[in-house]
A and B are shown apart, each in its own frame.
Chain A
């Protein structure tokens, strides 16, 4: 279980994250959705330990997170693969905190999972963007982390590749049962993949809404219920952006711990719309 307690981050004097509090259960697929610059990357970097909070704390299973660990692995938008290593060597690169190397069998299994076995001796520059991202995911899974942090992993990909990778990621998630925090500013992506969408607002970055989606997995991007939900989240975000433009304060931000949505998605969408547009 991952817990954030009043995590606040300043860059110089500018507050980019404001008292973020949330709890993420083991095995949950949670999306962080929000406009550009609202602090999504900063937040996942803090959770990974690659960046530090100015205030508040992050803990996993009761232990405070202060530095990077192979228990929490990041997948970056521009993949971060090592260009001088082959696909296979990239997947096998990691060194677990407990000193264990990644076994040959493990690498083989992962390459099969991402369907790149025949590409194992190729170098990253010989792969397409989607393939690179798959290798990056396999390299992260090889560490057998408790938590996978994905920072806009698919946003540089074309629509079709993105959809393929969505299906693949859903499958991987269902097979491995990993906890995943998935950053995106694509509403459709967030709604399609997650159990929970945390909608973030800007200036300072904070969570404005916690949406639970109980639709069973795997989901398809054509699902009508999802489409309805998508548009209501869009309206919420638009309001947030408009608010920001007008520079006025939205009074009474929602308590993110008190999840307002449960039950079927359609009613959920309606509730969402009602609660926020009223």
Chain B
């Protein structure tokens, strides 16, 4: 609220011309119009589709590879370092390569989203599997479980809190990767609307889209993922130590 007032105040002083620094009302109007005409809704749906596909692939693949790395030391030793270094590469960097590999812009963008969440998902899963309390494993063995059933009934469930944290982070990383990819790439997503606003010199569109992007991130993380994560931690009896 204070921020809004400050913003309105700055607008009245007119340090910058109006087209470069619109008032909150103008941005609000742009938002309402944008959604009213369905432009923003379409853009959001496009972005969400890419996000959900990419995110889904990232966590599925991430859990799968992470489990392998957590269970087999040799795989972990071979690829662990590589994945750690790959994680520090911003995922948009992969876009040019992806555009060459997949002639379609859409697949390339989804690829970037997958890359955005993948490394982190792998590392969280591996850490979760490796960090399972040995006492639970001993209990499982003593209660008659071995091999795959031990893994499915004891090790994997015990690693769920770590995996959920990984999922939450992967979501945020995928979202960022998507926006970066859309700004550079083509197609009909939020990122493109943002760039279109810039090209037209339409600052209120730019700001409106920024609001949507930030809002979506905050709402999905704060309301959906944080809640799920907290519920899992509570159930697993980790709440006192983690929050």
A residues bordering B, Cβ < 8 Å?
48, 50, 68, 70, 72-74, 76, 78, 80-84, 93-97, 123-125, 139, 143
Contacts and interface: CB of A to CB of B under 8 A. Distances in A.
Interface string B124-153: 000000000001101101111100010001
A123 B142 contact: no
Nearest 8 Cβ contacts at the A-B interface: A125-B237, A95-B144, A80-B139, A94-B143, A83-B237, A70-B144, A83-B236, A80-B135
Contacts of B160: 84
A84 B235 contact: yes
B157 interface: yes
A13 to B, nearest CB: 24
A50 B142 contact: yes
B142 to A, nearest CB: 5
A143 B144 contact: yes
B154 A82 contact: yes
B136 A50 contact: no
A123 B237 contact: yes
A50 B137 CA distance: 11
A155 to B, nearest CB: 15
Interface of B: 135-136, 138-139, 141-145, 149, 153-154, 157-158, 160, 234-239
Is the contact region of chain A dominated by helix, strand, or loop, or is it mixed? loop
Contact of A139 (B143, B149, B238): B143
Contacts, number: 59
Given A81-B139, A93-B153, A125-B234, 13 more contacts: A70-B143, A74-B139, A80-B138, A82-B154, A82-B158, A83-B235, A84-B235, A94-B143, A94-B144, A95-B144, A95-B145, A125-B239, A143-B143
A252 B174 CA distance: 72
B142 A68 contact: yes
A96 B153 CA distance: 15
A123 B135 contact: no
A202 B234 CA distance: 42
B142 A82 contact: no
Contact of B143 (A83, A93, A124): A93
Contacts of B239: 125
B142 A125 contact: no
